[in-house]
Structure 1
Amino acid sequence: MTQRSADLLLLTVIAARGTSYLLAKIGLGGIPPLELLAVRFFLTTLILCLIFHKRLGQMTKGLLKAAAGLGAFLFACMACEIISLTMIASSTAAFLENTSSLWVLLLAAIACRRWPQKHIIAAAVLLIIGIALLTLHGSRLNLAPGELICLAGSVFYAFWILFTARLARQHDPLLLGIVQMGFLALYSAVSTAVFETPLVPTDGTTWGAILALVFICSVFGFTFQPVAQKYTTAEKAGLFTAFNPLIASCLGFLFLGETFSTAQLAGAAAIIVGLVLAAKKGTAA
């Protein structure tokens, strides 16, 4: 696979994830958050194992260990995202979580023991301003619990991107993506048993949202991101996430009636400008 093809696949994969906020918001109407994750990723793992069952024989202890670690970071991210969606609008969650694109660049700079470049610092300032305006409540600038949880998820997602970039080059990336889905299902199921009272969805709307999450966002999305990242960079994977909030905001406006105040709209714009600034300079660097 060429880098251009990998970039196109990565962009498509991340765009598909932009639909997850709307679909999760709909699904939460009929099932608790952690159980939604458990059902979604159990079905995802089952489907992937049926399709790619021949690859399972190539599994090694090293790959199993890598998948368990990636699955832990991804579960932390997804748990924060789904819980925050019970408290805040899907569009707000999308903007906050996708600040991960900048965290990737900052963490990469720290890992290389170098001071972040000027454009990264400028982008960070824009994101801080944007987050402050986006989380404006009345006349108060503060982060509500749901917004804090969502930001925590963005940090976990940044770590997942960075570790995926490293481990996808050491193992079969497709098999790595499949096995991490299995661990994600396991972690979600255990958390459901500990923290929630499971429910069986009885309406078609909830099941429709769950199945869309399975096929669009999981089977295609998370599974093929390691494949794409084998042929491109972690920084680019983080930068492409700038498209997510735009997609999620449009879907939230069209289907959930979500709107921004003037201050929140300015905050969203500041976040987009910051992400684009980091993306343009980061790609050229």
Structure 2
Amino acid sequence: MDRKKAIALSFSVPVAWGFSYPLMKIGMDSMNATSIVALRCIIAFVACLLLFHKHALRINRDLMVRAAIIGAIMATELTCMCLGSSLTSASTAGFLQSLTVVIVPFANAALLRRAPERKALIGTAIVTCGMLLLSGADFTSLNPGAIIMLLSAFVYAGHIIVAKRFVEEVDPLALGVWQLGFGGLFSGIGACTLGGFTLPSTPNEIVVVVALALICSAYGFITQTLVQPHVPAETTGFAFSLEPVCSAVFSFFLVGEVLSPIAFFGAALILTGVMVATVELPRLRSQGHAHMAGAPERVS
């Protein structure tokens, strides 16, 4: 793939992901979270299976076990995202979810028993200030939706760490496809157990579910997989940090959300902190090392 085309496509991925927050908020007006996640994953699974059947149908026990594990984690993460988006503003949800890229370096540092990188520490300090402003200068004012989104960010960080290990052991493309299938299965079981499985009954609901599945999940996953080998690590980190900005823009146009001035400044600080923690400038990069530690790969 041409590098310029790959870079252009890489910046379309956070647009697709940012689109998901207002869509989930709209869908939660009449459907439950587990049903939305189940339908989203199942439709995305079918689409990816059709496109990548040569890889996905080469199944074995190791692949299925690992796909089931990260599928369960992904189902939990997406359910938290749905619930959080319905209980707080979609734009705030997007900024809080982006904290994953700050959490991952600290989690990796703890697992490897080494100090976090300096850029992660600086980024976390900036993000903390941003969260304080986003909450109205009082962490106790964080509503249940914001707390759920923080939980989602931690769950997603776990997903990234576990998936990173698994992709070294099995075919990553097949793993990505089957995790969607297991995510849909577990979410469907959860929906039937907790509140009943609901299907979209209006044109708006159908559009929301299909868009979440094909644009936010299938397209995001397919595009990321195709462009990853052709895009510099720092470009990947920068593109990922644009997701909450896209979320805020789509939330304004789709659900009419506008951040207050202090919340807007807090969101800007969160974005700055995320970029500090993820974007590796060429002058700071050691010669011969092009890989950026802590830049998460997203498949949801």
TM-score bracket, normalised by the shorter chain, equals: 0.7 to 0.9
Q: Deviations over 1:108-140 (max 9, x none)?
A: 222332212333212111111111211228x77
CA distance in 2, matches of 1:233, 1:162: 20
Q: Could you say which residue in structure 2 is the equivalent of 1:103?
A: 103
Q: Deviations over 1:33-88 (max 9, x none)?
A: 11111111122222333333343431121111121121122112111100111211
Structure 1 pair 83/282, CA: closer, same or farther in 2 (3 Å)?
farther
Q: Please say if residues 136 and 142 of structure 1, whose CA atoms lie closer than 8 Å, have aligned partners that are also in contact.
A: yes
Q: Could you say which residue in structure 2 is the equivalent of 1:184?
A: 183
Q: Could you say which residue in structure 2 is the equivalent of 1:279?
A: 278
1:1-285 matches, cutoff 5 A: 11-136=11-136, 141-222=140-221, 225=224, 240-281=239-280, 284-285=284-285
CA distance in 2, matches of 1:160, 1:69: 9
Q: Please say if residues 119 and 281 of structure 1, whose CA atoms lie closer than 8 Å, have aligned partners that are also in contact.
A: no
CA distance in 1, matches of 2:100, 2:39: 26
Q: Please say if residues 43 and 214 of structure 2, whose CA atoms lie closer than 8 Å, have aligned partners that are also in contact.
A: no
Amino acid at match of 1:39: L
Q: Deviations over 1:140-171 (max 9, x none)?
A: 74322111110010111112222323322332
Q: Please say if residues 234 and 279 of structure 2, whose CA atoms lie closer than 8 Å, have aligned partners that are also in contact.
A: no
Q: CA deviation at 1:263?
A: 1.7
Structure 1: which 5+ runs fail to align? Answer: none
CA distance in 1, matches of 2:143, 2:255: 21
Structure 1 pair 272/33, CA: closer, same or farther in 2 (3 Å)?
same
| TM-score normalised by structure 2 residue count | 0.83
Structure 1 pair 183/235, CA: closer, same or farther in 2 (3 Å)?
farther
Q: Please say if residues 237 and 279 of structure 2, whose CA atoms lie closer than 8 Å, have aligned partners that are also in contact.
A: no
CA distance in 2, matches of 1:105, 1:178: 26
Q: Please say if residues 178 and 223 of structure 1, whose CA atoms lie closer than 8 Å, have aligned partners that are also in contact.
A: no
Q: Deviations over 1:225-258 (max 9, x none)?
A: 4666678899986664311100000111122111
Q: CA deviation at 1:270?
A: 1.1
Structure 2: which 5+ runs fail to align? Answer: 286-300
| TM-score normalised by structure 1 residue count | 0.88
Amino-acid identity (%)? 28
Q: CA deviation at 1:262?
A: 1.9
Q: Please say if residues 237 and 275 of structure 2, whose CA atoms lie closer than 8 Å, have aligned partners that are also in contact.
A: no
Worse-superposed segment, 256-265 or 216-225: 216-225
Amino acid at match of 1:212: A
Q: CA deviation at 1:17?
A: 1.0
Amino acid at match of 2:49: C
CA distance in 2, matches of 1:53, 1:275: 36
CA distance in 1, matches of 2:231, 2:206: 35
How big is the alpha-carbon RMSD for the aligned residues of Structure 1 and Structure 2?
Answer: 2.8
